[in-house]
Amino acid sequence: MSLIANLGVYSQSGVQKFIYQFLDSSVPPQYHRSYSITVNSNNVQFVVDSYGEILLNETYTINQTQFNDFVKQISSCKLRIKKLKGDGDCNGGTAETFVFFFSNSNHNVDGSVYHCGGNDSGNLTGDLVTAKELFRSMVPDINTKIEGTRKE
């Protein structure tokens, strides 16, 4: 199943929002940084946390053209749900999740991949690197913002 089956239909079919989540590996709290980026037709929300403690929560306004460009670019990544591969039996890895919400909640779609020990497992395929970078590009100075949450 494609996360975005057809761009033309998709952008007109009641998409509400896209979410990308990065779940950091299990390390001490001062080093652990997970984050989520939520994109909808009006804004982008960026949240950084360490084991559930919110360290940064910012929202940026976007216009319809920016949203449409995002939809077009994310659709070109051809993210697809696939059968699970690997057993995910590895400690210390990171995970990425992509969730797409439609106005009809019965059609929400999500997929994830777990990176550990040089191997990937999960139920998602496609150009994950480009998709992740598209989300990250929606947040101004994202690396600086994440680093700014680190406690000395």
* 46 is a domain residue: yes
At residue 104, the pLDDT reads 64
CATH number of the domain that residue 124 is part of: 3.30.1560
How many distinct structural domains can be found in the chain? 1
At residue 88, the pLDDT reads 59
Q: How many residues does the chain have?
A: 152
Q: Which two tokens stand for residue 73?
A: 């670019």
Statement: the pTM of the whole predicted model exceeds 0.85: yes
Contact indicator for 16, 102 with CB cutoff of 8 Å: yes
* 152 is a domain residue: no
Average pLDDT on 85-96 reads 77
At residue 110, the pLDDT reads 85
* 2 is a domain residue: no
* 1 is a domain residue: no
pLDDT digits over 101-137, tens only? 877 666 677 899 988 888 888 898 899 999 999 999 9
3-state SS string over the chain?
CECCCCHHHHHHCCEEEEEEEEECCCCCCCCCCEEEEEEECCEEEEEEEECCEEEEEEEEECCHHHHHHHHHHHHCCCCEEEEEECCCCCCCCEEEEEEEEECCHHHCEEEEEEEECCEEEEEEECCHHHHHHHHHHCCCCHHHHHHCCCCC
Domain around 44: 7-147
* 50 is a domain residue: yes
